[in-house]
Structure 1
Amino acid sequence: MVLGAALSACGASAADDDEPEHRAFDLPGASLTVDSDDSALEIVASDEQPEGEIAVTRWFQGTVAIGSDPKVTWSMDGDRLVLREKCSGVVADCSAKHRIVVPRGVAVTVESDDGSVRAEGFRDALAVRTKDGSVRVTDTSGPLELRSGDGSVRAEVSSPTVRARSGDGSLHLVLTAVPDRVESRSGDGSTTIELPRGSYRVDSSTGDGAEDVTVPRDDSSSHEVTARTGDGKLTVRTAN
């Protein structure tokens, strides 16, 4: 009966955790790597966060019908925040989410195996790499690198340099300030790049899909855009 109930239950959602845990970790320098195996992540840079410290909030829901009880762990190894979920057995159903607040002036690298990543507020370098999950970045002006193996990538930023790649999923970049360089590549999915008014040196190609480049082009421009898509429509246009 327990197994039958577990089979018929709805999927676990970390949002149902009404009593999230909070913890602060010391940060020894001006860089942080977030190493996560299976969790949705929200990462925020804030002037209100004390220097030399990060604040982490964790939501978790999980059940295993037959097997070891599920659990999540968090630890700091130098400048690496390690987040792990253990959820295995018969009818294992778990969901985790972490919100990480870092002080301004910290460069962040995210390495995620499975889970969506959202980030905002960065003035310093930000790199997000997830094997399976969507990526969303807003309110960011530092150098930006975004990569998803399987998931959409979206950014609305004023970064001078943006490098974005999606193996399987759409890619949408909105630049709110004229960038020095934008590089994008999508294996299977549409790509849309919206740019402020200006002239750009554009190098674009698509393997199987329509191509619509309407920004003013100037081969001598110092503002470069390189866009590639294997299978999907490619659009490079001036933002409204």
Structure 2
Amino acid sequence: MTATLQQPPVTPVGPPPADPTRTPLGRTLLWAGVALGVATIAWGGVQVADLAMSSTERASATYDAADVVELVADGRVSVFAGDQDLVDVERIARSGFSSPTYSVQQRGDRLVVRHECGSWFGVCTGALQVHVPRDTHVVVRTSNGDVLARGLAGDLEARTYDGRVEADRITGDAQLHSSNGDVIVTDVSGDVTARTYDGRIDAQGVGGRIEAVTSNGDVQVVDVGGDAIARSSDGSIEVADVQGDVEAATSNGDATVFGTGEPVALTISTSNGRQTVEAPTDPSAPRTVLIRSYDGHVSYLAPR
């Protein structure tokens, strides 16, 4: 007898999977990636070329004094009190493919000095270094650079979108703002408003009231003749030697206030941390101190 072997069924083999790059979507993604790579290389080459051909030039000019001097730039701005009844301006231009434009306008009692780049691209910056009569009201606006003001007897308004703001020995009021940078205050006789979205605030020696607020950074306030408000959304708070009322509040960090030795009406709280009270308090005291943190230790301590 001859045995018949049963053959297993043969499963038909389908065609190989299609190359994903052969589909319309695959081809589109491939070409998009190639285009992006080429654009990135080209952009890098343009930036290198712009940097390679960069140069720096300086020029100076003098103008009659004005009650208000407004300085608008795309770079660092430094302003100092001068010895003469004139406005001395030194402009520093860094150029590549583009150069900053310089202009001056007299508007009534206001002198407006501009040193700006027409485009955000490249190494172009327009900086200013200015000496003004001591009593001048100074307004500074720069899109990309630090601001330094020193020795002024008039009011100061300073704003930068990317840089540090520093006010030193200012007799008038000071309004200081940075979108991305620290704010430093030293010896300001009047009231101070200091705000930054990303940076720390250090203030020492304020004759009037101070409001120091940051969204991301520490705040330190020392030696204030009036009230003090110190707030941070993410950072520690330290306040000392304030003669008026105090508010020290943070969402994430420690909050510490050093008293003056006199009793205060104290409000202190934290959602997650330790409370420490080592300085005199009295609910009926005329001065108030509020210390608050949602996630950190809170302390009211004796004078240091």
TM-score by length of 2: 0.61
**Aligned residue runs from structure 1 range 10-159, under 5 A:** 17=56, 20-27=58-65, 29-36=66-73, 38-46=74-82, 48-50=83-85, 53-64=86-97, 69-78=98-107, 79-86=110-117, 88=119, 92-159=122-189
Report what 2:217 is aligned to: 189
Which structure ranks higher in relative contact order (CA pairs < 8 Å, sequence separation ≥ 6)?
Answer: 1
Report what 2:258 is aligned to: 214
Shift of 1:59: 1.3
For residues 229 and 25 of structure 1, what CA distance do their matches in structure 2 show? 51
Shift of 1:194: 1.4
Report what 2:35 is aligned to: none
2:100 maps to a residue whose letter is K
Q: Percent identity?
A: 23
For residues 165 and 211 of structure 2, what CA distance do their matches in structure 1 show? 16
Secondary structure of 1:92's aligned partner: coil
Which 4+ residue blocks in structure 1 deviate beyond 4 angstroms? 3-6, 8-13, 224-240
- Residues 231 and 57 of structure 1, relative CA distance in 2, 3 Å threshold: farther
CA RMSD in angstroms comes to 3.8
For residues 239 and 182 of structure 1, what CA distance do their matches in structure 2 show? 20
1:58 maps to a residue whose letter is R
Secondary structure of 1:20's aligned partner: strand
| Matched residue count | 222
Secondary structure of 1:150's aligned partner: coil
- C-alpha deviations, 1:41-79, integer Å up to 9, x for none? 001122x122xx311001122112xxxx42331212421
Shift of 1:95: 3.0
1:24 maps to a residue whose letter is T
Shift of 1:191: 0.7
Secondary structure of 2:144's aligned partner: coil
**1:7 is the counterpart of 2:51:** no
Shift of 1:143: 1.2
For residues 91 and 208 of structure 2, what CA distance do their matches in structure 1 show? 37
For residues 114 and 78 of structure 2, what CA distance do their matches in structure 1 show? 13
2:257–2:291 CA contact under 8 A, matched in 1: no
For residues 166 and 237 of structure 1, what CA distance do their matches in structure 2 show? 27
Report what 2:271 is aligned to: none
Shift of 1:87: 5.4
| Higher-Rg member (1/2) | 2
Question: Which sections of structure 1, spanning at least 5 residues, go unmatched?
Answer: none
Higher helix share: 2
For residues 50 and 87 of structure 2, what CA distance do their matches in structure 1 show? 36
1:70 maps to a residue whose letter is S
For residues 59 and 150 of structure 2, what CA distance do their matches in structure 1 show? 22
For residues 95 and 233 of structure 1, what CA distance do their matches in structure 2 show? 44
- Residues 226 and 40 of structure 1, relative CA distance in 2, 3 Å threshold: farther
Shift of 1:105: 1.5
1:92 maps to a residue whose letter is G
